Amino acid sequence: MATIKDSVHDHIEVTGVAEDLLDTPAMQRLRRVRQLGTVSLVYPSANHTRFEHSLGVYHLASEALGHLGVAGRTAERVRAAALLHDVGHPPFSHNVERLLYRRTGKLHDDVDDLVTSGRVGAVLRDHDLEPAAVADLIAGDGRYGQLVSGELDVDRMDYLVRDAHHTGVPYGTIDHGRLVRELTFRDGELVIAEGNVQTAESLLLARALMNPTVYQHHVARIGKAMLRRATERLLDDTGHDPERVRRFDDADLLVTLRRTDATADLADRLSTRDLYKRAVWAELDDVPASLREADHDRIRDLEREMATDADLDPDAVILDVPPPPGIRESSSRVVVNGEIRRLDRQSPLVSALRTAGRNQWRLGVYAPPGAVDRVGRTAVRTLGLDIDGALVSTVRRGLDATLDEFG
C-alpha cells in the first residue's frame, strides 16, 4: 500500500491494481499535463496536474464503492478506471482536444489503445482484470461507469474542489463527502438518495459559478485560442502526426511550437504572456444563430476575411465561438418522496442557472494589441453582430483597463 499526501483529500491510500498502475508511463505523463491549461495565465497558482486529479478521483471512487457495498474484482475494476480516466488527455488538457479530435476522431476518453496495450494493459492483466472492461468504464458504460463518467461522477466532485483550492476561488467548494455518501443505485441508475435535493443543487451551483470566473475567464480563453491556432498551424504546415501530438505533454507541445518557424511567434507570446486582446466580446442575443452554429471551416473563412479587411496576416485574427450554454448536471437524478426525478424538474434553481449561463455566454474576436480597434470594426460588419461599433472599441478599452486589474 502507498500513502500519498494530497492537497485536497489529505492522505490517500493506494492499494492493489491502482498502486501498480501509478508508475506506468501513461500515468506518469499526467504529472506533466496541467489540469487547467491556460487558466494559470489568470491564476498563477493553478498549476495542479491531471496526475493529482486522477488520484483524487480514485480516492472518491474508493469512498463511494465502500458506501455502496461494492467489493472484490468489480471494485478493483472501478478503481482502476477511476485512476486511469484521464490518461487519454492531450497536452494542456481540453485546450486542443477538439482540434485533435478533428484529425484523429478521438476524444480524451477514447483510451482503448492505452488501456489494452503496453504497461497499463500488462498491469491490469496481472491483476486478472480485462483491459477492455476498464476502458468501457472510463467511457461511462454500464452500471458502474456512471460513477466514473456521468452526471454524478466522482470526476466532477474532485475537479471542482481541486480547481477552487488551487485558484483560490471559493465558488467550487462543495460537500463532496456528503455527495459520495448519499450516492445509491435505483433501477440501475446512479442517483442521490432521499432528502438531498440541496446537495445536488450545490454541485450545479458550484459549476455555474466556476464557469465564468475560472473556466471561461476571458484571458484563459484568449490563451486557449492562441494555443489552438498555433497547434493547428503546426499540424497544417509541418506534417506533425496528430496521434503523436495527442500523446505530448505540455512541455513537449510548447517546445515544439517554439522551435517551429511557423508557430514560434504565438508560442513566444504564450510563454511571455504577451497575449492578443479582445476586439469583440459579444453576448448571445447579439450573435446571429448561423454564426453560433458555424463549423470550423466557416469560422476560418470569417477569420481570414476579417484579417484581410484589417490589413493583417490571414492568421492574425481569431474568432472564438463557444458551444451553446448548458448544464449537463441538471439531468442528474434525485430521489424525492420515493420517486426518481430529474433535478431540472425538481429544482427551480436550474432554470435560474440556465438563464445565468445564457447571460454569461460571450463570442470573442481576438487580435494583436495594435490592431484591436480596426479588427473590432470590421468584425461587427463581417459577422453581422447586433452591437454598436463604438461599444467594441472605445468602451471595450475602458472595460479592459478595469478587468486587467483582475488578470
Range with the poorest average pLDDT among 122-131, 134-143, 367-376, 387-396: 387-396
User: Are the CB atoms for 256 and 248 separated by under 8 Å?
Assistant: yes
Residues facing 2 on adjacent strands: 14
> Over 60: is that where the pLDDT of 398 sits?
no
> Over 60: is that where the pLDDT of 399 sits?
no
Over the stretch 330-368, which tens digit does the pLDDT of each residue have? Answer: 778 889 988 888 888 888 888 888 899 999 999 999 999
Domain spans of the chain?
A: 2-168, 276-324+362-407
Position 383 scores a pLDDT of 97
Position 167 scores a pLDDT of 97
> Over 50: is that where the pLDDT of 4 sits?
yes
- Which residue type is seen at 70? V
Report, as an integer, the average pLDDT of 130-146: 95
Sign of the dihedral through C-alpha 279, 271, 243, 36: negative
Report, as an integer, the average pLDDT of 55-79: 97
> Over 50: is that where the pLDDT of 30 sits?
yes
Over the stretch 180-199, which tens digit does the pLDDT of each residue have? Answer: 999 999 989 999 998 888 88
> Over 60: is that where the pLDDT of 305 sits?
yes
The pLDDT-based confidence of 200 (bands split at 50, 70, 90) is confident
Please state, rounded to an integer, the average pLDDT across all residues of the chain.
92
> Whole-angstrom Cα distance, residue 155 to residue 178?
15
Position 390 scores a pLDDT of 37
Position 392 scores a pLDDT of 59
Position 393 scores a pLDDT of 45
The pLDDT-based confidence of 323 (bands split at 50, 70, 90) is very high
Q: What is the reported pTM?
A: 0.92
Report, as an integer, the average pLDDT of 377-401: 67
Q: What percent of the chain has pLDDT over 90?
A: 78
Superfamily of domain 2-168: Hypothetical protein af1432 (1.10.3210.10)
Residues facing 362 on adjacent strands: 283
Position 272 scores a pLDDT of 97
Residue 342: Cβ within 10 Å count: 14
Q: Residue 21's closest CA among 156, 122, 168, 146?
A: 122
Over the stretch 236-260, which tens digit does the pLDDT of each residue have? Answer: 998 899 999 999 999 999 999 999 9
